[in-house]
Structure 1
Amino acid sequence: MPKAYVFTRYGGPEAEALVEQEKPSPGPGQLLVAVRAAGVNPVDFKQRTGYARPGQSARDLPAVFGNEAAGVVERVGPDVTGFAVGDEVFGNPLAGGYAEYALLPVAVTAHKPPETSFTDAAALPVAAATAYDGVRQLDLPAGATLVVTGAGGGVGVAAVQIARAFGVKVIGVASAGKKEFVESLGAVHVPSGPDFVSGVRAAAPEGVDAVYDLVGGEVLEAAATLPADRTKLITAGGKDIVGRLGGAPVARARTAAVLDEVAQLVVDGSLKPYVTQTFPLDRAAEALRVVEGGHARGKIVIEVGV
């Protein structure tokens, strides 16, 4: 039977297991996809601890990890148009992507461009799409200055590149060890730490137009002092406090159209997924530990062979 990496209960890494499961069957508006690659994101281990988005129902256990996947359509569910068996696709799986087979709803599934590998495509549905949604939400003119906190992580790397593609100047806040990497993306690097705001002000003496925060907590609190217009403060890392600071959470579109647009940025060279490490499915635990440790650079992807 097909393999999947799951959590069997809510808790820590001890709740994880590689198991065999029946191949799922696609319902209306769904695709059964033979997974070739699955992206790893912080939300994956957070869901294992019991985290759920507002309005999201509890997962049936055991629950498969993963919120982004790329692969080949094996079966098409009822009432599906625009997709056929054999199509190469990527998107947000219904119930986990760390598996040899996954169900993808057509509403958040796009055709993978032939120029893009499965590994790179699997890095787009969460991290790159979140970055794209946030940059679009800020709607900055060319020449504006944007600060990205957490610029060395999966979403940050994409946000820097997308903003630069739109002609925006970017200051990337990340650890000192990521200086060269952040600068290679086209951003001015400012070291993270208690005094990063002073570093940003030194790098942008004429002021900052917007902040895209990916860290939350004290970093978001400090970053909120940078833009003159607090409506230009958005976060994917501190949704619980950003309203009090005058900003807003990233408004996620979660549509196939956004995935198509992000994929086109990859094709035209504006966005590089920066997959820095890959792991086979039977080493999914190691992939999660890298991300859960908070020190991943770029994207981590699980490659699945079927």
Structure 2
Amino acid sequence: MKAAALSSFGGPEVLALTDVPDPEAGAGTVRVRVRAAGVQHFDTGIRQGWAPPSVDLTFPVVPGNEFAGVVDQVGEGVTGFAVGDEVLGYTTTKSYAEYVVAPADQIVPKPEGMPWDVAGGFTANGLGAHLCLQEMGVGPGDTVLIHAAAGALGTFSVQLAKAWGATTVIGTASESNHAYLRSLGAIPVTYGEGLVERVRAIAPEGVDTVMDNVGGDTLRASVEVVKDRNRIRTMIDDEVAEELGIPLLSAGRSATRLAELTDLYAKGLIKINIRKAYPLAEAAEAHRDIETGHGRGKIVLTVD
């Protein structure tokens, strides 16, 4: 099969379309014919040679940790899924390919009418937002501050906070993305010097929770506006979080969380903006795009 794979670590140019062996579904797993795969900053870390201790980086390395497609093999012991089912799910790597094998407890049915590009880029940001907001206890009546709110993760988080009953969602973003944030139901504020004062102008008594997607000084500023720093989480800067005594985000991806999110999508409470869809052969360009750190919404790869 074709896959966007690495034969060495480095810049986006090391990611190239490559022939690799077809994977086969084993016990407890399914094989999915991939229609779309999301692009994450996690994937760019893999490309540069970083990985969690449990991940094998033997070449060729195929990045990609979220996907959507059609089940075409079902392994022994799998129930609830059949060949031909349309699904979305997650792995740690290997999703930038024509086929991916995943445990059956890491996929869920694709909602009827969900476009393939949206399905391919739904899982990772959705699970990240769900885990973070749940750990912070976001719920009815809360005032929530989300940093980098116009990005793919921020977009999901704004909508999820609203769906869970947050009264006010404040989102930091560049001025060019302020109208976009308003369309999601957030109150936009600009990054940079004076951030604390701008947030306090909206929430004079402070905010209840802060989701940080920027780190550094932005995370430090967050401590000045939140009522209880135990209700801050960062997705990006554990070092500063430990310095400030902010709890670290725990792991917790699950199909149960994902099913809750697809249900919210089916009810019209979550919408995903696709920033750009690249064909699998242009995975390197997709990595260049996401590493600019600009733009709104999700970048995905599509597989013919």
TM-score by length of 1: 0.95
Give the structure 1 partner of residue 179 of structure 2: 180
Instruction: Give the RMSD, CA atoms, in angstroms.
Output: 1.4
| Paired residue secondary structure (2:87) | strand
- Aligned residue runs from structure 1 range 59-208, under 5 A: 59-93=57-91, 95-168=93-166, 169-208=168-207
Segments of structure 2 that go 5 or more residues without pairing to the other structure are none
Quick check: 1:94–1:104 contact (8 Å CA) kept in 2? Answer: no
- How far does the alpha carbon of each residue in 1:247-274 deviate from its partner, in whole angstroms, 9 at most, with x for none? 2233332111111111011110111011
For 1:249 and 1:266, how far apart are their aligned partners in 2? 28
Quick check: 1:234–1:247 contact (8 Å CA) kept in 2? Answer: yes
Give the structure 2 partner of residue 21 of structure 1: 20
Q: 1:71 corresponds to which letter in structure 2?
A: G
For 1:58 and 1:240, how far apart are their aligned partners in 2? 25
- How far does the alpha carbon of each residue in 1:132-154 deviate from its partner, in whole angstroms, 9 at most, with x for none? 11111111331211100010111
For 1:214 and 1:80, how far apart are their aligned partners in 2? 37
| Paired residue secondary structure (1:136) | helix
Q: 2:222 corresponds to which letter in structure 1?
A: A
1:130: Cα distance to partner?
Answer: 0.5
- How far does the alpha carbon of each residue in 1:143-196 deviate from its partner, in whole angstroms, 9 at most, with x for none? 211100010111110000000111211100111111111111100000112332
For 1:192 and 1:219, how far apart are their aligned partners in 2? 8
1:94: Cα distance to partner?
Answer: 5.0
Higher mean Cα deviation, 185-194 or 108-117? 108-117
1:295: Cα distance to partner?
Answer: 0.8
- How far does the alpha carbon of each residue in 1:184-210 deviate from its partner, in whole angstroms, 9 at most, with x for none? 110000011233222111121121111
Quick check: 2:35–2:303 contact (8 Å CA) kept in 1? Answer: yes
Give the structure 2 partner of residue 46 of structure 1: 45
Runs of 4+ in 1 over 6 A off after TM superposition: none
1:235: Cα distance to partner?
Answer: 1.0
For 2:20 and 2:290, how far apart are their aligned partners in 1? 25
Give the structure 2 partner of residue 263 of structure 1: 262
Give the structure 2 partner of residue 232 of structure 1: 231
Give the structure 2 partner of residue 37 of structure 1: 36
Quick check: 2:15–2:283 contact (8 Å CA) kept in 1? Answer: no
| Paired residue secondary structure (2:211) | strand
Q: 2:246 corresponds to which letter in structure 1?
A: G
| Paired residue secondary structure (1:85) | coil
1:294: Cα distance to partner?
Answer: 0.7
For 1:78 and 1:56, how far apart are their aligned partners in 2? 25
TM-score by length of 2: 0.95
For 2:146 and 2:181, how far apart are their aligned partners in 1? 11
1:211: Cα distance to partner?
Answer: 0.4
